[in-house]
Amino acid sequence: MTEIKLATLNLFNRMGEWERRAPLVIDQLEALAPDAIAFQEVDLDLDQGMWISRQINKRLQDEPHYRIKHVASPGKYASVHGLGTLSRLAPVEHEILDLMTYDRTAQRIVFQTDAGRFAFVNTHLHHPPEAKQERVEQLEYLLAWLDRDDRKLPTVIAGDFNSYVDEPAVALMKSRFRSAFETVHDREPEKTWSTPVNTHDDSPHGTLDYIYVSEEFRILDAGLAFDEAAADDRDLFPSDHLGVYARLEL
C-alpha cells in the first residue's frame, strides 16, 4: 500500500498583494509537504506556478523535487485563470479538458506509485453563486469524460468548485465520491472562502473547495491548509481561499 498526501488551493492569481502573500504560500507549502497539490487561478503572465516550484525546491535537499504542469484558460482570462498541478510523484499522463462553458477547464494527471496508478484531477468551476445549474453541467461534462477511460483508475478530484455544501453540484459529486474532509470530520469545514485578503467580492462565506476521493482509497486524515495568517498582519493570508488537504492510502 502507498500513502499519499494531496491538497488544493486557489492562489487568487496576482490579486490581494501577491508579493506579500507569496512567502506565506511557500512557508505553508513547505510545512504541509504534499505529494501533489492542485492550484487554481495560477497567473501565467507572472509564471507564478514555476516561481512556486523553484522556491520550494530551493528548500529541499534529498527530497524528490517538485514539478508543475499547467493549463491555460481558453478565454480572456487565460493568464490569470490557469490551473497548475505541482507534484513530486511520477506523472505518466497529462490530459486537459475544456469544459466548453465560461472558459473553465480541468486537467487530469495519472501518477505512478508503488501501489499502482491513480488519476488526480484539478478543476475550477464557474463562479457566480447563482450559477448552480451551470456548475452541475460542467461537472456532468467532466465526469462523462472521466468515465470514458475504461481502466477505471482510482481517482481524486480536487479544486475550487465554487459550490456551497447545499448545492446540487456537491450532491452530484457525493453521489459518486467521498469528500475527504467530511469523511474524517463528519461535516465540511465552516468555510474555505473567504479570508481578509478578499476585499472586492461580498458573496457569502462558505465552503467552496473540496477533495473528492473514489472508493479505492482509504482516507487517513484531512483538514484545512494555508490557513495561517502572517505573524505581523492577522489580515494577511496566503490567499483569499483556504486550502484543503487529504492523506490517503492506495
The answer to whether residues 57 and 65 touch, using CB atoms and an 8 Å cutoff, is yes
pLDDT of residue 75: 87
Q: Specify the pLDDT at position 245.
A: 99
Roughly how many angstroms between the first and final C-alpha of the chain, as a whole number?
6
- H or E element: which one contains 62? none
CA distances from 146 to 36, 133, 155, 173 (A): 19, 20, 9, 13
Q: At residue 7, what is the residue type? A: A
pLDDT band at 37 (very low <50, low <70, confident <90, very high): very high
Residue type, 222: A
* CA-CA-CA-CA torsion sign (193, 23, 36, 217): negative
- For residues 83 and 73, give the distance between their C-alpha atoms in angstroms, rounded to a whole number: 8
SS3 4: strand
* Domains of the chain as residue ranges with CATH: 3-249 (3.60.10.10)
Cell numbers at 154, concatenated: 482510482
Instruction: Give me the residue label for grid cell 456532468.
Output: 140
Question: CB–CB of 159/38 below 8 Å?
Answer: yes
Residue 1 pLDDT greater than 80, yes or no: no
> Which pLDDT belongs to residue 77?
84
Predicted model pTM: 0.98
User: Reduced to 3 states, what is the DSSP secondary structure of residue 172?
Assistant: helix
| Tens of pLDDT, residues 104-149 | 999 999 999 999 999 999 999 999 999 999 999 999 999 999 999 9
Q: Would you say how long the chain is, in residues?
A: 250
pLDDT for 4-34, tens place per residue? 999 999 999 999 999 999 999 999 999 999 9
